[in-house]
Each structure stands twice: as C-alpha cells, then as structure tokens.
C-alpha cells in the first residue's frame, strides 16, 4: 500500500468517526444512538485493517488479529446496550434518551 492510499483510507475512517460522533451528540433515540456508536467503533476497526496492510509481515498480523477481536467486542457491547434498552422500555414505555430526566444533570 502506498503512503497516499493510506492517507486516503485514514481520512475515510476519520470521516466515519465524525459521522458517529455527530450521531451520538444529536440522536435522541437509544437504538439510533447504538448505531451511531457502532459507526464510530468501526472507524477504529477499519484503521487497524489499513495499518495492518500497510505494515505487512508479523506487525501486520497483529493488526488483523486486533480487528477481528474488536468486531467481537463491539457485538458484546451492543448486546449489553440492548439489554438496558429492553429493561428501560419495559419500565417506562419509551426509549427516548431526552425523556430520561429523573436525575438532574
């Protein structure tokens, strides 16, 4: 992979991160928030893939292994998030984050 291609790819993941962060800051629906978090997480995972391809050799294998582990980790995190949404929905009948105002901020 050339340096120029790497810069392009990293710019792409930076854009993904920005999209994810924007979603986290603006969305009020918990499910959409989870999706936004996933988009931002995928930016980090993609970074590992690019840098692994750029590094090559043993150093590259590390990056690939990390990318696979992080995919599994992201799934775990979302599972926990969905569990919280379910409990919240059962109790309050809404998954809107803006309506969670019992604790003053």
Which stretches of the chain bind other proteins, using CB under 8 A? Answer: 10, 13, 17, 20-21, 24, 30, 33, 37, 40-41, 43-45, 47-48, 50-51, 54-55, 59, 62-63, 66, 69-70, 73, 76-77, 80-81, 83-84, 87-88, 91-92, 97, 100, 102-105
Structure tokens at 13: 């993941």
Name the minimum Å distance from CB 8 to other proteins: 14
> Pick from 70, 73, 72, 75: which is nearest to 34 by CA?
75
Name the minimum Å distance from CB 4 to other proteins: 13
User: How many other C-beta atoms lie within 10 A of the C-beta of residue 16?
Assistant: 19
């Amino acid at each position: 992979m050339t340096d120029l291609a790497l810069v392009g790819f990293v710019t792409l993941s930076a854009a993904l991160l920005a999209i994810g962060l924007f979603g986290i800051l603006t969305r009020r629906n918990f499910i959409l928030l989870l999706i936004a978090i996933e988009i931002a997480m995928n930016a980090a995972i993609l970074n590992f893939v690019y840098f692994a391809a750029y590094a090559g050799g043993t150093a590259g294998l590390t990056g690939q292994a990390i990318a696979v582990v992080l995919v599994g980790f992201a799934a775990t995190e979302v599972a926990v998030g969905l569990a919280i949404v379910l409990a919240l929905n059962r109790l309050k009948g809404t998954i809107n984050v803006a309506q969670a105002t019992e604790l003053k901020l």
